[in-house]
Amino acid sequence: MELDKIHTPVLLERCLELLDPALAKPGAWAIDATLGMGGHSLAMLTRYPNLNLIGLDRDPQALEIAGTRLAAVADRAHLVHTVYDGIEGALESAGVSGVDAILFDLGVSSLQLDRAERGFSYAQDAPLDMRMDGTSELTAEIILATYREGDLRRIFEDFGEEKLAGRYARAIIAARNEAPITRSGQLVQILQDATPAAVSRNGHPAKRVFQALRIEVNTELSVLSAAIPAALDALNVGGRIVVLSYQSLEDRIIKRLFAKATASTAPAGLPMELPEHAARFRLLVRGAELASDAEIEENPRAKPVRLRAAERVREG
């Protein structure tokens, strides 16, 4: 396997540009909270020879590949098998109290998408697994076999924003009463058969259901809601955070938590803001930045990305 060709990091140069003042500090520490195959981390450690980095990932396969890619800078790369809400524990394991830069590159990784046997893609027939961490117990197959119709509808609505959630949930219940649903190809066929011909749809009928199952299997949104506050607390003053998200549910969480962190806590009606009420963070970009047409042409997986970034401006 040619490791340098298996993954193209999304918005790499823009991430480095935003993080540069923090990464260039003498003795700087960074966290790559979604290490994946190490593309962003390798670029940071190569460009900043005095940087130390903590790389987190729940996927043992990703950690193994990243470890190989980062072998030349292994003395400055501390890799930890954990979900990204485990930032506090990762800092303790590295003997660090705070960091200067944090990067999140959310969603399913290229490794998981490109390996059919992981079951993340509706375009390839494979076992319905979808675990980012193969050591965890819950799989998409178990969800489809055991969840009640109402629970299936809920996750399709909440995590997939699927308008046909009820119809799809009923179709899955009917199908599993005939035979176990164990492969992605079976599920795709069930969804296609349950989709009315007259319904105008954007994209593949399985896209939102597969997204919902993946989020449920890996508890992605609840983990993210805990991880971002932990990341903000871990940043030193002057530290910077960049988050790349790929679907609206993730981006809404980031937007809400960044808005809270960059807002004053002063009670309404005070004639002036006291220092202890000043915002702890400031936004580095207006709204969510999108990938350029050139970036998307070079790396199609950048098309849905939404980038948000902030800087810590005070303690507290």
The answer to whether 40 is a known ligand-binding residue is: yes
Q: Are 288 and 266 in contact (CB under 8 A)?
A: no
The answer to whether 75 is a known ligand-binding residue is: no
The answer to whether 147 is a known ligand-binding residue is: no
Tokens of 163: 């308008």
Dist. CA 138–CA 144, nearest whole Å: 11
Q: Which residue has the tokens 């509706």?
A: 122
The answer to whether 39 is a known ligand-binding residue is: yes
In the annotated binding site, the residues are 38-40, 57, 84, 105, 112
In the annotated binding site for S-adenosyl-L-methionine, the residues are 38-40, 57, 84, 105, 112
